[in-house]
Amino acid sequence: MFKFSYCLTAAALLLAVCTTAIESATEKVYRCSFDAAQASSVIGVVETLDLDLWSHQTLPRDSGVSSFVDVRVSNAEEERSALTAIQNLAKCELLIGDLTVVAEAQQLEAIYGSVLEKQKSRLDAEGIDPFFSNYRSYDDINEKLADLADSYPDLASIFTLNGVTWENRTIKGLVLTSNVKSYKDKPVIYFNGGIHAREWISSATVMYLLYRFLSTYSSDTLSKYILDNMQIVATPLSNPDGYEFTRTPGNRWWRKNRRLNPDGSYGVDLNRNWDEHFGRVGVSRRYSSEIYPGPSAFSEPETQMLSRFISSLPNKIGGIDFHSYGQLVLRNWGWTVRDSQNEVVLKELGASIVDTIKKTSESLNRKLKKSIAGGRQPSLYQNVKGANLYPASGATDDWMSATQGMTAFTIELSPADGRYGFALPSSEIVNVGEEIFKAMQVFCLRLFKEKIPPNAYVRRGSWHRNAWRRFVGSN
Ligand code: 0X9
Ligand code: ZN
């Protein structure tokens, strides 16, 4: 069976490479590095040309360290104009020379499971569920949620959000806690995954978190303490239409949902559609843009379903919205660089998340040294303010903090080096999952013990007014 699927995949891969060569696809990703002083000019070019921003380094202006953006160019003309506009501001190097090959290879792997035998034996040896040997479909994810609820009836219950997506899909999730009778009073931590379709590692990681909290309840004192005293609520796949679309040929890099726009293009960026400074910065009014925020706040069924659900949760204290990539822990605010009222405590909390990820990663990498040629990439996580380089409003994290009183972060998962962009190899699912699991144990415990007050933002200042004018003026 394995040999057959291996051959099938190899043949299909070969076909993919040949087809690509014939069509001479020019989709590429560049990493453009610049000094902090050039940051706003570079972002200006990205916004003016409406380039697809894949990742960014968000370092403070006074850090003295250069930053970068990873941008996708989809044809030779876009490539030329982007490189010309950026040439005096930044140094651009080719990160991925042919995106079609990367996309097709990963999609085929997800469907036929070619290189997975090795991974499966590793998971077997470590007693980890083979579900995590690969990225899974919407149906498989839902089935796994039901399986987990069945396997841990005293700890997990499944729920389905009210409503359906544009393509009639539901959004499901799990609540984890012990002593179900008293569960209503226990503080809630919420994990959201997969709001951006192409960020497959996000959904896989939230699934892994659920699995790990459950499977370690009886062996890990921290997991037990957390589920005894708190509730973990998670929706691993918040943009199922977009996600399923990225599993079809030629569409691996889709980011938005699948709304049909008035000009015939598709999609609203669900992480710009929340009712929190909606439509102010880091958005484009062009329907086909990757950062089109939608016609109005909460215009989309997905954000309506999610926001109603989160609002209905009693005693919610924290939330994480998982994205990729870049290895960043992003704190409030995402729309303004001004310090939030909770800046000091959030910065410190972010640092402890980063520290835990790094420590877990170091011990994991020591263990994996022999099995991965050249070793596993070291963790490069950074702890930064969301808006430091690229302010964007109407996002999940800021809405959770500003309107729900939750201590909320966005975590941009692996990779950091961008070699595969969003196509992080499936062999990384368990490694990323383990790093994040340990960090989320720390996050939950600290929020439970420290009772951080709801965050607040400073009054609108000239920075914001100018940003707003720039946005209005350019549309
Ligand atoms: O731009 C986004 O939505 C997130 N980055 S991604 O590359 N995954 O698309 C970052 C969101 C950070 N939070 C806010 N800006 N509020
Ligand atoms: Zn994202």
- Could you report the per-residue pLDDT of 45-80, keeping only the tens digit for each? 999 999 999 998 866 656 656 689 999 999 999 999
CA angle 240, 393, 270 (to 5 degrees): 10
CA angle 308, 309, 311 (to 5 degrees): 65
CB atoms within 10 A of CB 13: 17
Closest atom, ligand 1, to C-alpha of 398: 16
3-state helix, strand, coil in the chain (%, to 5): 45, 15, 40
What separation in Å is there between the alpha carbon of 255 and the centre of ligand 1? Answer: 12
What separation in Å is there between the alpha carbon of 328 and the centre of ligand 1? Answer: 10
The residues, ordered by sequence, that sit 6+ positions from 322 with a Cβ below 8 Å of its Cβ are: 191, 192, 193, 194, 199, 202, 205, 206, 410, 411, 413, 436
Residue that the structure tokens 């140094």 belong to: 91
3-state secondary structure of 254: coil
Write the pLDDT tens digit of every residue in 241-273.
999 999 999 999 999 999 999 999 999 999 999
What residues are neighbours of ligand 2 (ion), with CB under 5 Å? Answer: 196, 199, 323
What separation in Å is there between the alpha carbon of 291 and the centre of ligand 1? Answer: 10
Closest atom, ligand 1, to C-alpha of 397: 16
Tell me which of 199, 412, 428, 434 is the catalytic residue. 412
Q: Is the CB of 330 under 6 A from ligand 1?
A: yes
pTM here is 0.89
DSSP state of 154: T
Closest atom, ligand 1, to C-alpha of 269: 3
At residue 163 the predicted structure's pLDDT band, cuts being 50, 70 and 90, is: very high
pLDDT value at residue 461: 53
The answer to whether 193 and 202 are in contact (CB under 8 A) is yes
The answer to whether 29 and 70 are in contact (CB under 8 A) is yes
Write the pLDDT tens digit of every residue in 326-382.
999 999 999 998 999 999 999 999 999 999 999 999 999 998 887 776 778 899 999
pLDDT value at residue 202: 98
Q: What's the average model confidence in pLDDT over 457-467?
A: 54
> Does residue 412 have an active-site annotation?
yes
What separation in Å is there between the alpha carbon of 168 and the centre of ligand 1? Answer: 26
The answer to whether 349 and 407 are in contact (CB under 8 A) is yes
